Homo-oligomer: A and B are copies of this chain.
Amino acid sequence: MSRDIAFYFDFVSPYAYLAASRIERLAAAHGRQVRWQPVLMTVLSKAAGTQLTPFVPMKWDYVRRDVARSARLAGIPFHWPPGFPKLLLAPGRAMTWLATTHGEDTAAAFARTCLTAYFGDGVDIEDREVLAGIAARLGVERAALLAALEDEAVKAAFRQASEDAIAQGVFGVPFMIVDGEPFWGFDRLDQLELVLRGTREAA
């Protein structure tokens, strides 16, 4: 069994952004590596038969407050991006391509920069030129990234990632799987850490 922490996220999920802000440090503290896997909540939700929160008014009223409070209490910079929520496809496709052509580390760095740009600074990360700029700062050729975003094989691979996640029992984000054990939500990082600590002590 892999010792990686599988970290499933959607670029549009604020709770995934909060978890993303902490997951690398948490993993490093326990000698684990994070495998960043972008997915689409729209696909997960359809497969699981759940509703996306913004379409449940009473819950959405609460979640808007809860996200902001969770960020504030955790000391993580957070602002609602302009036009939130919207379907974000380009960053997931870009990351999928980066992972195969430039390696997992570059892809993960790209993802973290995108999430911080979106939820920290309100940058439109569905804008291809914005993504090309972020990639360029990681040493990726702009033209190659822009071409990848139009590549049907890349689109298909990103779509398949959500199906693969569903096969692992993933029905929402952020979702972490470590040593076969599933954890759903930013609010489960504490439990994930307790379990990792127990694993280390038992090792």
A4 to chain B, nearest CB (A): 20
Q: Which of A57-65, A110-118, A128-136, A156-164 contacts B (4 or more CB under 8 A)?
A: A57-65
Which residue of the partner chain B has the closest CB to A50? B56
Q: Which of A5-13, A66-74, A87-95 contacts B (4 or more CB under 8 A)?
A: A66-74
- Residues of chain B contacted by A65 (CB below 8 angstroms): 181-182
- Answer whether residue A100 sits at the interface, using C-beta atoms and an 8 A cutoff: no
Separation of A4 and B166 alpha carbons in the complex (Å): 42
- Answer whether residue A80 sits at the interface, using C-beta atoms and an 8 A cutoff: no
A152 to chain B, nearest CB (A): 29
A98 to chain B, nearest CB (A): 29
**Which residues in chain A, 73-114, are within 8 Å of chain B measured between CB atoms?**
73
> Chain A interface (Cβ within 8 Å of chain B)?
47-51, 56-59, 61-62, 65-66, 69-70, 73, 166, 169, 171-172, 181-182, 184-185, 187-188, 191, 194-195
